[in-house]
Amino acid sequence: MAYEAPINDMAFTLQAVAGLPKLEGLPGFEAYDADLIAPILEEAGKLARDVLAPLNQSGDAAGAQLTEDGVKAAPGFAEAYAQFREGGWMGLSVPEEWGGQGLPKALALAVMEMIHAANMSFGLCPLLSFGAIEALLHHGTDAQKQTYLPNLVAGNWTGTMNLTEPQAGSDVGALKTKAVPNEDGSYAISGQKIFITWGDHDIAENIIHLVLARLPDAPAGSRGVSLFLVPKFLVNEDGSLGARNSLKCIGLEKKIGIHASPTCVMEYDGAKGWLIGEANKGLACMFTMMNSARLNVGLEGVAVGEAAYQTAFEYAQERKQGKVQGVDGPAPILHHADVRRTLTTMRARVAAARAICYACGVAADLADAATDEQARHAAKLREDLLTPIAKAWSTDMGVEVASLGLQIHGGMGFMNETLAAQLYRDARIAPIYEGTNGIQAIDLVGRKLSGTNGESMRLILGDIDATIREARATNEPQLVQIADRLRAGADALREATDWMLTAMKERDQDKALAGATAYLALAGDVIGGHFLTKAAVAARSSDPASRARNLALAGFFAETALAEAPGRVPGITEGGQTFLEGSEALFGI
């Protein structure tokens, strides 16, 4: 696999679009200045290109293997992880007091985009560790932080999330894993978990499992769920590793993609664990992990989309077929207008999703670090609203773009040995991860929109209005035309938002939720178009190549995705109602 990180595009998006300069000088970011962006991205790009990308297809072919001694990672992965660990990449955005570098989350997201694009199976390992670190930072005791955070942040140990059980799926309230108190203050954890990403492996010294379980006297449902820290190897008082805990991987799932990422069935047989947070309040801890994972999974969509675009673009330059005026003999298919249109669709949607994810990262940091309470509140609203959109819109985009990349390869793309096929297979899990995209749509409508009585979306729409004014103020015909399309898209999103809020207030939840997925897709298109327009305006002061590139992407997106926005409102407001009225005839319910 050949992968070259689009460093200039990433740096431009961070600085000119996502708002990274807003963090300079804020508490907690004393170690950060803009001069760090280029060297960090360049070094991460080398790791992705030279170390991880060459292992992507070989790892897919070999896969992880379950042996009598536990799970063995695909060949080369342990050595690659050692380089990742030694580079300090795990702690990029973690506070310095725990061994991190105290840099912005959005910058760490850009680094993880490279890692996922080069090798998604590899990138899933640190993704889960990020969630464990977040949970301990927010909910762990001082002793737990001192014992586990330094090694997690250093990458010496990795982390997992153990939520899903065969009978429960996304309904964590139905889980049955038990936690029985021990006399020493620990708990005996017993039960089985499925779909545990990197649940066992041999690339790090220890694995710290965060496990949802029930106490003996816990109330039924989600109110009776607690979170426990369960290490693979117990940790002695001096920090050294002790005895093996009574847990193991008893099976590896056979998946359609991400073969080098071991997806484990984990069995806990009285394993020793410790409560994180309050008893029966595990959902709060879980959502801390989940929100971290959702943004990072959204970034997987961006990453796979970028890799699929690069792979398709390279193939389109090499594959010769058909006649084109001005080209002697068979022409590279890049000369065919439909192929160029497909590639432009891929690139524009990747750029939009990248901006959404990076902006969500900046909002998350501002929500913690802004010195003004009103600014923190506004940033938190933006973060909360953008998180389900970043996760769902970006991962749907990743699958779509990977499919388009396969299409450009034609029949060769359908062959398993091609990278295009692997990227398509790998991408498909992301819309399912960390709460399916249907759940993200429910979260967007039920919590993030209705929970704030529309304040969060009004804030975003205000940002969009400001971008429209900036584009119009340039008096450049193409930017004015883009602004007109963005205005029509924003009006459509406003109309759909007003309808959705009314439906939720009238407690007609089925009608609202029937249109939730279509609403999230519209919101992603309009917000993505807003960021692309913002990029085109900002690029006016850049070099001619950057200016032309950003203008072309914004213009194409405006005349395709944004042009369709007004016609999609009835699918939200009326389509769901029509569907519900026809449910009995269709499904007998």
Which residues lie closer than 8 Å to 552 by C-beta, 6 or more apart?
Answer: 344
165: annotated active-site residue: no
* pTM for the model: 0.96
Beta bridge partners of 264: 196, 252
Of 400, 434, 470, 476, which one is the catalytic site residue?
A: 434
Q: What are the pLDDT tens digits along the chain (589 aa)?
A: 789 999 999 999 999 999 999 999 999 998 899 999 999 999 999 999 999 999 999 999 999 999 999 999 999 999 999 999 999 999 999 999 999 999 999 999 999 999 999 999 999 999 999 999 999 999 999 999 999 999 999 999 999 999 889 877 677 777 899 999 999 999 999 999 999 999 999 999 999 999 999 999 999 888 899 999 999 999 999 999 999 999 999 999 999 999 999 999 999 999 999 999 999 999 888 888 888 889 999 999 999 999 999 999 999 999 999 888 888 889 999 999 999 999 999 999 999 999 999 999 999 999 999 999 999 999 999 999 999 999 999 999 999 999 999 999 999 999 988 999 999 999 999 999 988 999 999 999 999 999 999 999 999 999 999 999 999 999 999 999 999 999 999 999 999 999 999 999 887 788 889 999 999 999 999 999 999 999 999 999 999 999 999 999 999 999 999 999 999 999 999 877 777 777 778 887 6
Q: SS3 for 269?
A: strand
Task: Return the structure tokens found at 197.
Answer: 């990403």
Treating both helix axes as pointing N-terminal to C-terminal, what angle do 142-154 and 120-139 enclose, rounded to 10 degrees? Answer: 160
CA–CA dist 364, 291 (Å, integer): 10
Instruction: Give how far the C-alpha of residue 57 lies from the chain's centroid of Cα atoms, to the nearest Å.
Output: 22
Task: Return the structure tokens found at 213.
Answer: 């379980």
Closest CA to 37 of 60, 4, 8, 67: 8
25 sits in the region (left: phi over 0; alpha: psi -120 to 50; else beta) called: left
Asked if 464 and 486 touch (Cβ cutoff 8 Å), the reply is yes
Alpha helices in 319-412 (DSSP H): 337-369, 373-409
Asked if 126 and 112 touch (Cβ cutoff 8 Å), the reply is yes
Closest CA to 357 of 380, 377, 384, 386: 386
Q: SS3 for 241?
A: strand
Beta bridge partners of 67: 70
